[in-house]
Structure 1
Amino acid sequence: MDYELSEKEKERKKNFQDFCKREIVPLAEGLAAGQGKGPEILRTLLKKLGEAGHLGLSLPVEIGGQGEGLVLQMAFGEVLAKQSPVAHLAAWTSGIHCGHLLYRFWTGEGKKEILGDLLSGRKIAALARTEPSGGTSLKGMATKVVENQGGLRISGRKAFCVNGPAADLFVVFGALQKPEEPGGEVCALLVPAARGGLEVEVEEEAAGYRGLPVGSVLFRETALDAGSILGGAGLGAEVLQESWEWDALGATVGSIGLIEASLQAAFEYSQERQSGGKPLGAYQEVTFKLAEARAMLDTARLLGQKAAWMKQIQDPEADTLISCAKLYASEAATKCTGYALQILGGKGARRGCPASEWLLAAKSNEIAGGTSEAHRIKIAKRVLDSV
């Protein structure tokens, strides 16, 4: 498989990079500045990304997408993540992660309209999967879904919902109660934010993602139609697996963007800063860090591209390679952003310099999308099963 972009795709990527610098970075800076307008700014930001075609790049044209491959989606995501980790995470969650879940599994009314709204940025989606008492493992979810008079009712609390305070729609995971299955059967539901019995509380922002609207969602016997379950009853585990894969791919792309941003900043500073009468970049200790960061950037990018391609062709080994890519890229990003902070020295530790934020964001990516430990367990199991 040749992952090299065509000349036309390279031109589109360059145009998207210029667009992000011009249109998205100022909005992301506005999010970071606070001023209580986070949801409003986020809505404007996602509309601009929707108009640029980023949110639906890898989804079919007939539902408002661009019909391109997932490898190109990863390349565009890398550009956005380098410019703004916050914009990348918000966009990936709403248009790409939730968009692909709804495209594949949603069978209810208004599918085309809902997806059209998400991919254009007119509406925002959030994922409600993690619970306050549980992280990567969703066994024994406290959020309960019960059948009630031909419909459904959902009760429980979800935490760390990216886009939550600004969301129009939630993709919610819960346990559908069944007499024959203690603890219930995992299911995913599409829940409008305006539904009665649903409350969103603003949470403290995630480390390294200043200004990103994050919230917890409380469901108090929230009433839903029976058709709200994605894929119908019995497919919850498949929807959950798909969600984990999109989460891991998003963290992979975000990590690659962080590596590239930190490498560029460290290199430029190493050429400008003088020490002992010569540039920092003339010292072997510095050049070794830059060389290692470049090697990790290319390795992470190639792993991510191959994982995306394997998912696109529905290769049965795709989920394992996605775990490999996420594990490597997130840990490499932590190492590379740490190198950048070390090279930048006192400048990197000052308020206003993004280097310290990059390091926090990189570490967050080792946790989000499945912890490094969870991915190691998954990879090891596949290795042992193949022996």
Structure 2
Amino acid sequence: MTGVREAITRAHHAEWARVVATLTRRFGDLDIAEEAAAEAFATAVERWPAGGVPPSPGAWLTTTAGRKAIDRIRRENRRDDKQREAQRLYDDDPHEPLGAIDDDRLRLIFTCCHPALAMEARVALTLRMVGGLTVPEIARAFLTREAAMGQRITRAKAKIKAARVPYRVPSAEDLPARVSGVLAVLFLIFNEGYLATGPGTDPVRPELTGEAIRLGRLLRALLPEDGEVAGLLALMLLTEARRTARLSASGELVALADQDRAAWDAALIAEGHRLVRERLATGLVPGRYQILAAINAVHTSARDVRDTDWSQVVALYDQLARLDPSPIVALNRAIAVAELDGPEVALATVDRLAGDLSGYHAYHATRAELLRRLGRGRESRAAYDRAIELAGNTAETAYLIRRRDQSG
């Protein structure tokens, strides 16, 4: 039974984009494509445990989803030409040209990141349609309410229909206008894999981080001169390199300072460092992902946490804050400041972020740790309690509970 569930999970992440792309191309309707794909995977969950995994799971899912789409069109009494179009799924007519992008999923991400939509809307819609993330997962990535995120995605779909935005494979000339949205999508897919936000999934999801890195490599080959593409790939590689050291044998999250650095993936670190050095050598002003990659390069260059160049980390966060003056950047900078100037200085910064980050578990976890270091045990435990209440990741929750219980 476990093997069948794993097979369905692998099929979901490998074939979701292909199924949605095929149905969207044939029916011209994002809603139908998404819902039919979801129904096909639900059918797989019901049938595969009893009947076994089919020899070609992707073909089975595509065929089943196509039939689901046709059934829905007929049920809703759509126009006759829609029904004829649906039948083309089984025709041998050649597909439309693939354009500049060979990979199905990357092509669909570029297609969905249409500049007619606001950036947040196109990223959220693409995460739902192509990334396979749930609405709650997307809402947590944007630090917003689930209902609000659901409405945002619904409005994005409605705008596509109202403006009659065509489902058109982007040409090479279209790519620069869409790449920033694509990078945001890959970054958020990677983050959900790096530290899953929901309690109902594994705390670390390597199938998501692996897919984001695969697409990042393809994007790097497609746009080799784009510094932010290189920066995001380097950031993901340097973060993924630490994955095996991030969970203890008991399934508890292991903080960066406590990780066994000998367990880090040296090959991924070397590749990430090379990309960072290449970008620095250009002398060009770095973007957000390049700076984040440089910060991770500093961390992964230190043989021991005591060797970390915290002054360089703070300087890089200062540079990042000028590009992205967000509360999250300020929070992460404060963590580095605590190592350089002490927890009291950092806590003053963190407390000023309460209005923006009161619903963010990492804010309370950071504050709890600073209070613990200052010997303010009662306040620290209260902050840990709030972080535990808001955290969804089981490994992170276990870590926070242990730290709270050690807070004196």
What TM-score do the two structures reach when normalised by structure 1?
A: 0.29
Q: 1 or 2, which has the higher helix percentage?
A: 2
Q: Relative contact order: is structure 1 or structure 2 higher (C-alpha 8 Å, sep ≥ 6)?
A: 1
1 or 2, which has the higher strand percentage? 1
Q: Quick check: which has more Rg, 1 or 2? A: 2
Q: What is the TM-score with the length of structure 2 in the denominator? A: 0.28
